[in-house]
C-alpha cells in the first residue's frame, strides 16, 4: 500500500488552531492494530468492496466513509437530521442485514469479525496503489502457446452442454458435464470468479476473479485446463471477446474495479495490448476517482464492446477495429451502472442503473441512448430474461434487490407480427409479484417457465428458495421451490442461498446453486423444467460454495 500524504502527525496537530485540533482529537476513529487492520482489509475486499467500493464511496451499497459511520465527538448520532452510525449500530447492521438488499453476516462472520469490521469502516479508507501497463505485462503468463494446443477437440465431451461453475471461496471453476452431471475438471482460477464468458468459437472460456486474475481455459484439451493468465488489476468483474465477423476471438477485453480501467488483449493468449483509464466526470458533472467497469458485452452488429462505467453512469461503445487509434462513443445514462443484457434482437442493450432505480437501453446500431426507464428500487437483472408476453409481446425482465417485483419492459422488434405492440416499447408493462433480494432471473426460448431467485432476502426459507412462473399466467408464481430441502442436505447454521438459475443448452433443465458456508457441504440441484421435479443433486467434497453457472452454448450465444 502507498502511504497517504494526508496524515496529520502530532507535530502538525500542535500547530493547528485549538478548535480544529480539538475536533481532530475528539473525533478519532476506533484504534486498530496492524494485524487487525490487515484482517479487516481482507474481509472487506472479499465481502464488501463489490457493493460499497474500494474507497467506500458507495454504489449498489451505501457510502461507508467515516463521515457517515462515526458518531460525533459528543457521542450523538444525529447532525442536522443526518444519521451517524457508530459502533453498536454498525454491528447490528452487519450482523442482521437490511431490507435494502444487504444480507445478514451473522452466519458468515464471527462476532469478533463483525466488531472488527465495524471499527474498520469508521477509519479512513486506504487508497490502493495504481497498476500500470508495465505491471500488467509482467503478470502475463502464457502457459501453453497456441502452436502447442490441440488442433481439434481431444475429449469426447458435449461441449455445448458443459457448465462452467464458480466455486467462490476456493478460487476455482468446476467444469461439469451437463449430460452426465460429472465434474470433468476443476481448474484453479482467481478468487470468487464473477463470470465466465465464451469465445465466439465456443472453444475458450474466459473467467475473471474478484482479485483481477483473468484465466483462459481451453475446452479442446483432453482435460480442459488454463492455457494463459493475466492480472488486470486488484479487483475486477467483467470480461468479453470480439465477436463481430472478421474479428472472431481476435481480442478480449476485461474491466477492472481497481484501478478503474479496462485492458484490451489478444484473445488467444491474453497478451496485453492497451490499458484505458475510466476516471472522469459523472453524468451529474462531478469528478469521480473510482469509476469502476461494471459490465461488458460484445456486439455482433459492429466491431464494438459495450462497456458500462458504474459510478459515472456513462456507457462506452468501444470500437476495436483499430485498437491503436481507439474510437469511443460515450453515452450518458444514470448512476450507478451495474449489469445487463441484450434484448431478443441483440440490437439493444439494457443495463441497470440501480442507485437511480432505472434501466438504460442503448441502441447499438445507431450508437445512441434509446430510453431511460423508471423502475422500482435497485434493479438487478444479471443478464435479464427475454420472452414473448401473451399480452404485451416481446419483453425483457429484471428482478430487484430492493423491491418485491420482477419488472417487464416492452422491447422493439422488426418482426411484423409484433408491430401492434410498438406503442408499449420501452415502457414497464407489468410488475410480477416477487420478493426483495432477487439477483437473477432466467428463461429460455424453448421453455414455458420463468425463474427468479432471492438469495439476498433476509428470510432464511425465502433465501433458500426459487420462484417459478408459468408464462401463460404471470399473475402469481406457479410454485415456490425450496431448493435447500430438495437437496437433501442437513440444515446448517449458515443459510444455504439458492442462487443463479441456469438452463441446459436444450432448455429442458434448470440448475440451481446452493451457496452456503465455506465449511458446509454444497450442492447444485438440477430440475426438470417441464415438471419442476428434481432430476439430480450434484455434490462433491471438492465442490465448495458454488455460485454462478454458465452453460457454454447459452453463454456463447447470449441466450437468456
Active-site residues, by number, are 48, 51-52, 102, 338, 380
In Å, what is the CA distance from 368 to each residue of 306, 331, 344, 371? 12, 7, 18, 9
Please name which of 403, 482, 484, 393 lies closest in space to residue 436, comparing C-alpha atoms. 403
Please name which of 456, 389, 466 lies closest in space to residue 428, comparing C-alpha atoms. 389
Distance CA 334, CA 98 (A): 24
Cβ proximity of 270 and 214 under 8 Å: yes
> Residue 25 corresponds to which cell in the numbers above?
482529537
Cβ proximity of 426 and 370 under 8 Å: yes
Sign of CA dihedral 558, 369, 255, 441: negative
Distance CA 408, CA 428 (A): 6
Q: What are phi and psi of 137, to 5 degrees?
A: -65, -40
168: DSSP letter:
G
Cβ proximity of 162 and 552 under 8 Å: yes
Sign of CA dihedral 75, 80, 81, 82: negative
User: Kind and range of the H or E element at 44?
Assistant: helix 34-47
Residues 6+ apart with CB under 8 A from 366: none
In Å, what is the CA distance from 546 to each residue of 62, 166, 405, 558? 27, 5, 26, 22
Cβ proximity of 127 and 119 under 8 Å: no
Please name which of 10, 35, 40 lies closest in space to residue 25, comparing C-alpha atoms. 10
Q: Count the Cβ atoms, other than its own, within 10 Å of residue 188.
A: 14
Distance CA 267, CA 252 (A): 5
Distance CA 343, CA 500 (A): 19
Sign of CA dihedral 101, 106, 109, 114: positive
Distance CA 396, CA 410 (A): 7
> Residue 558 corresponds to which cell in the numbers above?
447470449
Amino acid at each position: 500500500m502507498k502511504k497517504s500524504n494526508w496524515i496529520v502527525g502530532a507535530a502538525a496537530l500542535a500547530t493547528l488552531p485549538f478548535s480544529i485540533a480539538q475536533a481532530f482529537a475528539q473525533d478519532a476513529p476506533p484504534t486498530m492494530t496492524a494485524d487487525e487492520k490487515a484482517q479487516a482489509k481482507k474481509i472487506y475486499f472479499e465481502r464488501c468492496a463489490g457493493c460499497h467500493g474500494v474507497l467506500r464511496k458507495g454504489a449498489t451499497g451505501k457510502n461507508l466513509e467515516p463521515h457517515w459511520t462515526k458518531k460525533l465527538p459528543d457521542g450523538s448520532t444525529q447532525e442536522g437530521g443526518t444519521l451517524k452510525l457508530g459502533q453498536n449500530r454498525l454491528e447490528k447492521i452487519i450482523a442482521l442485514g437490511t431490507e435494502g438488499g444487504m444480507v445478514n453476516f451473522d452466519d458468515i462472520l464471527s462476532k469478533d469479525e463483525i466488531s472488527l469490521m465495524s471499527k474498520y469502516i469508521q477509519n479512513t479508507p486506504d487508497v490502493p496503489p495504481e497498476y500500470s501497463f508495465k505491471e500488467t505485462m509482467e503478470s502475463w503468463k502464457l502457459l501453453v502457446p497456441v502452436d502447442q494446443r490441440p488442433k481439434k477437440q481431444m475429449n469426447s465431451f458435449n461441449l455445448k452442454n458443459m457448465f462452467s461453475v464458480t466455486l467462490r471461496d476456493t478460487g476455482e471453476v468446476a467444469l461439469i458435464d451437463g449430460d452426465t452431471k460429472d465434474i470433468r475438471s476443476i481448474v484453479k482460477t482467481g478468487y470468487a470468479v464473477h463470470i465466465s464468458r465464451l469465445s465466439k468459437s465456443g472453444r475458450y472460456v474466459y473467467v475473471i476473479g474478484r482479485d483481477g486474475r483473468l484465466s483462459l481455459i481451453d475446452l479442446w484439451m483432453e482435460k480442459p485446463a488454463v492455457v494463459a493468465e493475466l492480472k488486470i488489476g486488484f479487483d475486477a468483474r467483467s470480461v468479453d471477446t470480439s465477436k463481430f465477423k472478421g474479428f472472431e476471438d481476435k481480442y478480449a477485453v476485461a474491466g477492472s474495479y481497481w484501478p478503474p480501467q479496462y485492458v484490451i488483449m489478444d484473445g488467444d493468449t491474453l497478451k496485453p495490448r492497451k490499458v484505458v483509464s475510466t476516471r472522469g466526470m459523472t453524468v451529474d458533472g462531478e469528478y469521480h476517482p473510482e469509476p469502476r467497469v461494471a459490465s461488458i458485452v460484445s456486439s455482433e452488429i459492429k466491431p464494438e464492446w459495450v462497456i458500462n462505467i458504474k459510478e459515472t453512469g456513462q456507457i462506452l461503445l468501444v470500437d476495436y477495429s483499430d485498437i491503436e487509434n481507439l474510437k469511443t462513443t460515450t453515452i450518458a445514462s444514470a448512476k450507478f451502472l451495474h449489469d445487463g443484457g441484450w434484448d431478443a434482437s441483440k440490437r439493444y442493450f439494457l443495463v441497470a442503473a440501480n442507485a437511480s432505480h432505472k434501466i438504460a437501453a442503448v441502441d447499438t446500431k445507431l450508437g445512441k441512448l434509446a430510453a431511460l426507464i423508471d423502475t422500482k428500487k435497485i434493479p438487478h437483472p444479471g443478464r435479464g430474461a427475454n420472452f414473448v408476453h401473451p399480452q404485451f409481446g416481446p419483453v425483457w425482465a429484471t428482478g430487484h434487490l430492493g423491491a418485491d417485483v420482477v419488472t417487464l419492459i416492452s422491447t422493439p422488434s422488426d418482426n411484423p407480427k409484433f408491430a401492434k405492440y410498438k406503442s408499449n416499447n420501452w415502457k414497464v408493462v407489468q410488475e410480477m409479484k416477487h420478493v426483495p433480494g432477487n439477483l437473477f432471473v432466467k428463461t429460455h426460448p424453448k421453455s414455458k417457465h420463468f425463474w427468479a431467485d432471492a438469495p439476498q432476502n433476509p428470510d432464511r426459507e425465502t433465501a433458500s428458495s426459487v420462484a417459478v412462473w408459468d408464462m401463460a399466467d404471470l399473475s402469481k408464481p406457479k410454485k415456490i421451490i425450496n431448493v435447500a430441502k430438495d437437496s437433501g442436505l442437513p440444515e446448517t447454521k449458515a443459510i444455504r442461498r439458492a442462487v443463479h438459475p441456469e438452463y441446459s443448452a436444450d432448455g429442458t433443465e434448470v440448475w440451481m446453486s446452493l451457496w452456503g458456508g465455506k465449511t458446509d457441504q454444497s450442492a447444485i440441484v438440477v430440475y426438470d423444467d417441464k415438471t419442476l421435479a428434481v432430476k439430480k443433486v450434484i455434490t462433491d467434497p471438492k465442490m465448495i460454495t458454488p455460485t454462478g453457472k454458465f452453460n457454454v452454448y447459452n453463454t456463447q450465444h447470449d441466450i437468456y
